[in-house]
Structure 1
Amino acid sequence: MLERVLLAIIEAHTTPETEGRQQERLGTAMRALVGPVTERERQIKQAVRYMVRERQRDICEAELAAIPSSRTATAASARPIAQLAEAAARKVVGCSTPAELRAVARFLSQRYRLSAQTRPMEPDPITAALEEEAVGRILAELEEWGVSTRY
């Protein structure tokens, strides 16, 4: 959250001389406020972002597989958070020993769940449009049957 606030301030005060250096300025501001970020902290953030992207991909693939006209023969399901955390620990953080892998995966699972609680859900315009269309059809059907509706 702090990064977003700082980036908004930096964007509001960008001049032609500082254009294109927003991330550099953000890094400087963050170091000034909270101290230097270690490589491990950076890896943890990247690992959680990796988990979020993979989870979204899994959910999308599962939803596509559930469509009756889908060419996907088998119904897929999203991988559990623990499995995503283990993959992130291996691929992003670079854990190699089983003990380190378990510890980092457990930590990543906790960070993912915490970030999911604080991460705002972005509205899905497609879902909203489909819901609005469905409500419109229901209201039209009710009006055909003489039921007065206000929407």
Structure 2
Amino acid sequence: MHATLKAVQSPQVSVRDLSTMERAVALYASDMPTAYRHRVADDAKLCDWITQGAARLGLGELYRSAAFTSGYLRLWIEDSATLGQTAAHLARFADQPRFNLAQRMASSVSLWVVKEISDAARARADRPVVETADLVSAVAA
């Protein structure tokens, strides 16, 4: 498994019940090849990798990582992320090219394959979390 995401076995979840960022985190944790190139015939495979990654991480860790990632990316866009927050993000997603691929593929799934996100997933997506100094220390440890 990649970076510092911790594996926990979890019941399978529907791709529809995950936000786009949750899908990206799940793809990062899945067996999706880092050099993967999308083909239309692979849509089902992408969904399988998403559910695999979600099961591998467990829903609690998946939701937590997605919330921290959403919070970090909002700060990064505003150029206001601290060095500690950046370090925590890079510790969580050490392979940045893979993380970028996971984000692109998750967006593709959201736009072209599943095309819908449950209300619960949408509500979680609207609640990003910003890591404070205490949380950054815990992630780095």
Instruction: Note whether the superposition's TM-score is higher than 0.5.
Output: no
Larger CA Rg, structure 1 vs 2: 1
Q: Which has the higher helix share?
A: 1
**TM-score, scaled relative to structure 1:** 0.30
Q: Indicate the structure whose relative CO is greater, using CA pairs within 8 Å and at least 6 residues apart.
A: 2
**TM-score, scaled relative to structure 2:** 0.32
